[in-house]
Structure 1
């Protein structure tokens, strides 16, 4: 197992473990980022969660590090089951440069996650935010996203409703 992934193992899903240390070690290094990115697809759920967290945090400052992984990430999105990975990737996806078809595909996946991950408020909230960002400059995609977020603003729990209303206000 690669050294950086070893640092992400152990403990439980609620703990960040050594994620901050790994983020600092990666910096802007593409090879090290690639190593941690691959952790999203490991069999160990703790490593998957922590790798997805590290990827999300690093991509905030260095979104170009994601570029070599776009095709693989989009291909595997429908196979991702772990909600901690979903909510981190939902935050990460809008940082990718995508074609209209790729955006449409990604929006379909995020809509599916939003509609099926009712037990995870984090997945729902981050999916709605990502949907709004991805549909921002495309009226056709925006209509579908607005309809779904409007639906969420009238159903579900209080946090989801409040976030949906805020997102809708920001979109208009």
Structure 2
């Protein structure tokens, strides 16, 4: 649910996957589509081991392409059916996401990068009350296209204390001086 609130501006592109599935079905051989689907699924493996790609929006594009390939492999060549499916999904999810948009939002307030480390200040604002502020510590892996999320901590006393301590990683970040203290 948090992911949907974080990426709500991209969610409406997913309603078009049946149309792109029809386009793929017309221009790409079925056996090639199955091979492509297998390779796309393999690209999700780093997520299982706690890594993410360093390319913004890569998982969204990957998921959209997987849905379009599944649509192309499983449906017959029917443009009206694809447009109708897209329309029904658009109406259903518009109502659901319209309701969810009143619940709050998640926003990356600030980012710091120090060598291989990246720290993000994330603000999670619900429909009422004070925002929940958390800090995410990530580290670039040996291959620079992967980023490993090391730790997420909730900020409780940022107004009193300038130091954020990541206990599992044993790293202290000073937000007043913008530097990592090990």
Higher Cα radius of gyration = 2
Q: Which has the higher helix share?
A: 1
Structure 1 and Structure 2 fold alike (TM over 0.5): no
Structure scoring higher RCO (CA < 8 A, sep ≥ 6) equals: 2
Shorter-chain TM-score tier: under 0.3
Q: Which has the higher strand share?
A: 2
TM-score by length of 2: 0.22
